């Protein structure tokens, strides 16, 4: 965007604008586009989810407003805007007012590092991935504020649950990402996406693999386990159904949103769906190569790039459109899976949620970090690091050995962990029963 | 799983499904949902399957309501004559649990005598609880439960229904509940004929039919006036009509007799051709009586007998109807004669 | 550009200091925790202004995302947090002020004296080969596992000790734990109780030696 604005201002109109003016204008434009995209995503996702879950429950879903109910979310938004804003008399007014903003703002920040296509990342930070998750953790403060300021037991319970859940599940999410970061050796989201070129085998692991944009992390054992763990943690972070205890409507009304109405409630809703979109998007970025897919790299190579300044700008546009299509397709596919899971599983109990996070996901992701180390060792390390014995295998051979080894470790870890976890749950139930009753177990 | 053996015989027990390990149960659950999602794009026509959309998108498509469905009570009137089946017997008003039925008995404006018809009939739909007691209790099968359920309105008062709003033709009820109506049709019409005899003028005609009936009667009177002059209308069923005195009641009775006769002829010809021959006697008897009555009428007036040819037309038909027609004709003729004498 | 950065700096400084003052000035302890979060956030933004992206993000992740949540949790799990009717200043407030000023001076004086001022800031984009200074995650990581390994390990052990201590404090013996039973569990319990009482009864009745059932059991 900087280049385009620079070109238009300084070459076409010859205004001689300073660098910071160009930066400011280009970033303002990007921010405007993103701020428009975010609510639209939310509108689309609500419609998409309602239609999908209806289909899964043998219903039709909203199909009255507009063709096939396309304008249902717009109608809902109008309703939200026109509803009365209620502040409880006993509420802490300022904190009550600020809480939705604190929840929404981070989700908007998170768009800053999301890659939409080749060369279409708003900001390429060195630590983009960390930025993404650091910012996402801010919204926990907003939830706490909402729960506390509402002066309502359900709000407070919901906020406590939400925050406990977010803090707990951030750890497995981070640990599963750690495995990926170990393999790529970079926290930059652009690097991670670039790494996933190739053809089922990443071209970064094995030289000479054609760059068809299919070397996604999910195709190797480390990436797959990390993906599974991360997606489960993402469900918990986004308060999606098996983990939607913070707003469990059958238990605590609507959790921290209980005392909100009108547009403030709308903001919470917006934040939640935008967060879900972002979590799906980041899953697609990290494990499914974001915009990587057949054709994008070829098109992009023909366009104007730092390597190829004489290219045709139209190929940039084509590559961008194709890349954005792949990216959004993957993102919506993940949202489909989220809805699918919502249709399939009931809500967990609080203790089950905590047990699952701490006793199952965290050990599993720790094993996965170990697998990632093996992967890195076999694929990237040479004689200097003590992996001289692997050199004669060649790139593909080393890759194959790493694949088999990590696959064996991860499958074994999965089976063992699952059985132990199932066993402990059963034993604790019986023992507790025996303890309570004072009976021999 | 333990298998128990009893002495002398082997007990076979069902082992059930395979035990699900390491997350298989989760995948199985998701497969079920996936199956439902895939199947949801086809519409279910019956309920033997469990997957698939069986939503009826209401305003666009509607389920055919079962005959016994009941929503709000309505009043029936005869399609052709516009005569209401209701006789203002007050049974429904008495039985109505929320007491939302209000009836005014019709009275003869000259004599002040009660006439078996309702002058006004009001049901408060807003308080009606759709229990259907009124329809159950109605001895004349006049009050029936409607299938119409889209009654929402902005104006509360609109839900207080008067006779004009409540009246529906019999054919309407026959359409929504054909078998129910077929069961009671004969007796309902019989009772109607009985009460019609005691009605005068336009009392007892459904409000929406009043104009039509007026026009019909006027037309009938005209045509008879013209056709009576040649006095050679053998097929015209206007037996007692031919006297120059334009006696409304007599005319009406004649029309009615004619209609009934025609109807009976139709029924006899098409629906029940294999009527038992044993009933012929009764029919014949009725025909004779009708002929006699017609003759009498002919004596008093100067017209040609024409009920007679009408009545014998239906010997094979159900005797009851034939008898009814004959009685009716006789009564009409008698009445005509009496009034002529009076005048 | 310089001016812009200075304006931003002073705005951030005002936010950090103002929020810091509010932390100790407001009566409501939850509000003071929220002001503290604002102060943390300002510090993160200050790091970002110094182009120390990694530190800024870690500041947000650790302080805003985790520490502040812990503080809020701790406050909410404490009784009587209203703070109404409590005095903010005590009789010996000057003593507290003195201690605070002394401690602050002890930190700031060596810094002021030892600081070499007027260092020319690096201009232009950083070359790929050049170390990115304190901002780089790579250098930080290298420092942790090479130069400052001992410090890092000690900090880690300290946290582990704290963790174990927390578990020890919070741990309840299993036989002292009381579980709230669901209906199904209660039913199960009743069934088992009956079974055991039946078994006890039959055992005492059939405890004659050599009885086949008691033998098999």
Q: Where residue C67 sits, what CATH number does that domain have?
A: 1.20.120.1200
Residue of A nearest to B35 (CA): A56
When pLDDT is cut at 50, 70 and 90, the band that residue A396 belongs to is: confident
Contact flag A134-C54 (C-beta cutoff 8 Å): no
- For chain B, first and last CA: distance in Å? 104
Interchain touch B–C (≥3 Cβ pairs closer than 8 Å): no
Domain span holding position C153 = 136-167
Residues from chain A that touch B40, judged by Cβ atoms under 8 A, are: 55-56, 58-59
Residues in chain B with pLDDT < 50?
1, 232-246, 268-278, 302-317
Residues from chain B that touch A56, judged by Cβ atoms under 8 A, are: 33, 36-37, 40
d(CA B177, CA B162): 23
A60 in contact with C, Cβ within 8 Å? no
d(CA A190, CA A286): 10
- Exposure letters B157-170 (e unless 16+ CB within 10 A, then b): eebebebebbbbbb
List pLDDT tens digits, range A173-189: 989 999 988 888 888 88
Contact flag B22-A55 (C-beta cutoff 8 Å): no
Residues from chain A that touch C177, judged by Cβ atoms under 8 A, are: 432, 435
pLDDT of residue B312: 45
Residues from chain A that touch C196, judged by Cβ atoms under 8 A, are: 439-440
Average pLDDT over residues C156-171: 88
CA angle A327–A333–A338, rounded 5-degree value: 130
d(CA C195, CA C189): 10
List pLDDT tens digits, range A292-337: 878 777 777 777 776 666 767 777 778 888 888 888 999 999 999 9
Q: What's the sign of the alpha-carbon dihedral A324, A327, A333, A337?
A: negative
Mark which of C47, C82, C117 sits at the end of a domain: C82
**Which of B23, B26, B55 faces A60 most closely, judged by CB atoms?**
B55
In a domain, C28, yes or no: yes
List pLDDT tens digits, range A376-393: 888 877 777 777 777 777
Nearest residue to C50 via CA among C111, C119, C104: C119
Residue of A nearest to B49 (CA): A58
d(CA B259, CA B307): 11
Average pLDDT over residues A224-233: 91
Residues from chain B that touch A63, judged by Cβ atoms under 8 A, are: 57
Contact flag C60-A137 (C-beta cutoff 8 Å): yes
Q: How high does pLDDT run on average in chain C? A: 77
List pLDDT tens digits, range A43-60: 888 898 888 888 888 888
Average pLDDT over residues A260-272: 87
Overall number of domains in chain C: 2
Residues from chain B that touch A341, judged by Cβ atoms under 8 A, are: 30
In a domain, C4, yes or no: yes
pLDDT of residue A365: 92
Range with lowest mean pLDDT among A299-313, A424-438, B64-78, C79-93: A424-438
Q: Where are the domains of chain A?
A: 1-79, 83-363
In a domain, C141, yes or no: yes
Neighbours of chain B (3+ CB pairs under 8 A): A
pLDDT of residue C18: 93
In a domain, C143, yes or no: yes
**Which of B29, B30, B40 faces A58 most closely, judged by CB atoms?**
B40
Contact flag C72-A432 (C-beta cutoff 8 Å): no
* Among A residues 342-381, those touching chain B with beta carbons less than 8 Å apart: 343-345
Tokens 């983009």 locate to: A128
């Amino acid at each position: 965007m900087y280049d385009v604005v620079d070109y238009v201002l300084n070459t076409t109109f010859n205004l001689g604008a300073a660098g910071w003016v160009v930066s400011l204008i280009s970033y303002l434009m990007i921010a405007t586009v993103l701020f428009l995209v975010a609510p639209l995503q939310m509108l689309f996702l609500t419609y998409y989810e309602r239609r999908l879950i209806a289909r899964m429950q043998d219903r039709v879903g909203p199909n009255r407003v507009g063709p096939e109910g396309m304008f249902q979310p717009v109608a809902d938004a109008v309703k939200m805007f026109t509803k009365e804003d209620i502040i409880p008399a006993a509420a802490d007014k300022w904190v009550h007012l600020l809480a939705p903003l604190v929840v929404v703002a981070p989700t908007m920040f998170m768009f800053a590092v999301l890659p939409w296509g080749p060369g279409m990342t708003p900001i390429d930070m060195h630590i983009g991935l960390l930025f993404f998750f650091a910012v996402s953790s801010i919204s926990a403060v907003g939830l706490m504020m909402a729960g506390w300021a509402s002066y309502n037991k359900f709000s407070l319970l919901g906020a406590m649950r939400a925050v406990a859940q977010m803090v707990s599940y951030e750890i497995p999410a981070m640990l599963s990402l750690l495995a990926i970061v170990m393999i790529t050796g970079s926290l930059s989201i652009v690097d991670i996406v670039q790494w996933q070129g190739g053809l089922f085998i990443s071209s970064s692991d094995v030289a000479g693999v054609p760059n068809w944009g299919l070397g996604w992390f999910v195709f190797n054992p480390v990436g797959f386990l990390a993906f599974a763990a991360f997606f489960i943690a993402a469900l918990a972070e986004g308060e999606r159904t098996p983990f939607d205890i913070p707003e469990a409507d059958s238990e605590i009304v609507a959790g921290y949103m209980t005392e909100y109405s009108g547009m403030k409630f709308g903001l919470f809703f917006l934040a939640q769906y935008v967060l879900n979109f972002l979590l799906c998007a980041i899953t697609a970025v990290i494990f499914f190569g974001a915009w990587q897919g057949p054709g994008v790299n070829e098109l992009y190579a023909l366009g104007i790039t730092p390597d190829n300044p004489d290219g045709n700008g139209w190929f940039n546009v084509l590559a961008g459109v194709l890349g954005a299509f792949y990216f959004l397709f993957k993102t919506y596919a993940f949202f489909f899976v989220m809805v699918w899971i919502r249709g399939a599983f009931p809500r967990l109990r609080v203790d089950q949620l905590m047990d699952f996070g701490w006793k199952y996901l965290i050990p599993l992701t720790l094993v996965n970090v170990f697998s990632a180390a093996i992967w890195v060792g076999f694929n990237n390390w040479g004689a200097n690091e003590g992996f001289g014995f692997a050199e004669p295998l060649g790139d593909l051979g080393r890759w194959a050995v790493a694949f088999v080894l990590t696959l064996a470790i991860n499958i074994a870890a999965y089976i063992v962990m699952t059985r132990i976890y199932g066993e402990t749950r059963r034993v604790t139930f019986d023992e507790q029963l025996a303890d309570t009753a004072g009976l021999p177990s | 799983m333990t298998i128990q053996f009893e002495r002398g015989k082997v007990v076979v027990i069902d082992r059930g499904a395979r035990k699900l390990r390491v997350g298989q149960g989760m995948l199985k659950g998701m497969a079920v949902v996936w199956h439902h999602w895939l199947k949801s794009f086809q519409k279910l026509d019956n309920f033997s399957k469990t997957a698939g959309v069986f939503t009826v998108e209401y305003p666009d498509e509607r389920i055919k309501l079962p005959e016994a469905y009941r929503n709000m009570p309505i009043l029936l009137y005869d399609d052709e004559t516009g005569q209401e089946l209701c006789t203002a017997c007050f049974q429904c008003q008495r039985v109505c649990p929320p007491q939302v039925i209000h009836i005014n008995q019709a009275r003869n404006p000259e004599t002040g005598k009660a006439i078996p018809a309702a002058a006004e009939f009001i049901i408060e739909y807003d308080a009606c609880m759709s229990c259907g007691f009124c329809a159950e209790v109605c001895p004349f099968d006049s009050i029936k439960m409607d299938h119409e359920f889209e009654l929402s309105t902005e104006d509360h008062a609109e839900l207080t229904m008067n006779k004009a709003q409540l009246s529906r033709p019999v054919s309407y009820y026959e359409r929504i509940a054909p078998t129910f109506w077929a069961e009671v049709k004969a007796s309902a019409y019989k009772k109607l004929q009985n009460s019609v005899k005691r009605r005068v003028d336009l009392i007892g005609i459904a409000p929406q039919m009043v104009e039509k009936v007026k026009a019909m009667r006027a037309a009938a009177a005209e045509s008879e006036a013209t056709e009576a002059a040649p006095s050679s209308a053998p097929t015209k069923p206007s037996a007692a009509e031919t006297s120059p005195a334009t006696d409304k009641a007599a005319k009406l009775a004649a029309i009615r007799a004619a209609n009934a006769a025609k109807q009976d002829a139709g029924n006899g010809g098409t629906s029940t051709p294999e009527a038992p021959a044993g009933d012929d006697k009764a029919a014949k008897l009725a025909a004779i009586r009708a002929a006699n009555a017609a003759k009498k009428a002919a004596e008093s007036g100067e017209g040609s007998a024409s009920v007679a040819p009408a009545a014998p037309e239906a010997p094979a038909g159900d005797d009851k109807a034939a008898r009814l027609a004959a009685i009716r004709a006789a009564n009409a003729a008698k009445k005509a004669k009496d009034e002529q004498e009076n005048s | 550009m310089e001016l812009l950065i200075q304006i931003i700096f002073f705005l951030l400084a005002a936010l950090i200091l103002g929020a810091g003052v509010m932390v100790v000035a407001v009566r409501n302890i939850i509000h003071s925790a929220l002001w503290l979060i604002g102060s943390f956030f300002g510090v993160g933004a200050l790091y970002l202004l110094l182009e120390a992206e990694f530190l800024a993000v870690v500041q947000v992740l650790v302080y805003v995302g985790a520490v502040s949540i812990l503080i809020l949790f701790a406050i909410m799990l404490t009784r009587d947090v209203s703070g109404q009717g409590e005095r903010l200043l005590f009789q010996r407030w000057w003593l507290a002020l003195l201690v605070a000023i002394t401690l602050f001076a002890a930190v700031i004086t060596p810094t002021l004296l030892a600081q070499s001022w007027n260092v020319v800031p690096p201009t232009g984009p950083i070359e790929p080969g050049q170390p990115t200074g304190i901002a780089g995650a790579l250098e930080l990581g290298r420092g942790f596992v090479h130069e400052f390994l001992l410090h890092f390990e000690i900090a880690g052990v300290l946290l582990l000790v704290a963790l174990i201590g927390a578990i020890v404090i919070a741990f309840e013996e299993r036989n002292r734990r009381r579980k709230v039973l669901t209906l199904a569990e209660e039913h199960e319990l009743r069934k088992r109780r009956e079974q055991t009482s039946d078994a006890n009864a039959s055992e005492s009745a059939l405890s004659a030696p050599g009885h086949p059932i008691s033998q098999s059991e």
